Amino acid sequence: MNITLAQAEKMIAVAKEKSTAIDTKMNIAIVDAGANLVAFVRMDGAWLGSLDISIKKAKTARFFDMNTGIIGELSQPGQPLFNIEHSNNGLITFPGGVPVKDANGNVIGAIGVSGSSVENDHTVAEAGALAI
């Protein structure tokens, strides 16, 4: 099962609302179960450099079906996934990417958010992921 465009649009709306509530400007990307981009928004004034990062966070979360922050912990020197960020044409291994699950717990896509601190990125991504 894949995330639908309607679900992706709802996630973006919730993520934008959360971003506004915490006074940030974000790039928000939604990918489907195949890690293909379904929807993207760059809020007015969001960093241009974060555009690619948000998409890669979403893809990374979907490729491994876990939050990107967890992958970051596992990819530190001496950890089992050290240097994984160099695979798959580049991964993002810091917070802001979250898998999206359906009501049965199946991963149907992911959201990636970038444009602020990694804590804010994760907060906004999590809000978007929980919208469906």
- Residue pLDDT, tens place only, 70-107: 999 999 999 999 999 999 999 999 999 999 999 999 99
> Using one digit for the tens of pLDDT, what is the confidence trace for 38-73?
999 999 999 999 999 999 999 999 999 999 999 999
CATH number of the domain enclosing 90: 3.30.450.150
Question: Nearest 5°: CA angle at 90, between 40 and 43?
Answer: 25
Can you give the residue range of the structural domain that contains 43? Answer: 5-129
Is 77 exposed, middle or buried (CB count within 10 Å of its CB: 0-12, 13-18, 19+)? exposed
Is the full-model pTM beyond 0.85? yes
Q: CA-to-CA distance for 73 and 107, rounded, in angstroms?
A: 21
Q: How many domains does the chain have?
A: 1
Kindly tell me if the per-residue pLDDT of 1 is higher than 90: no
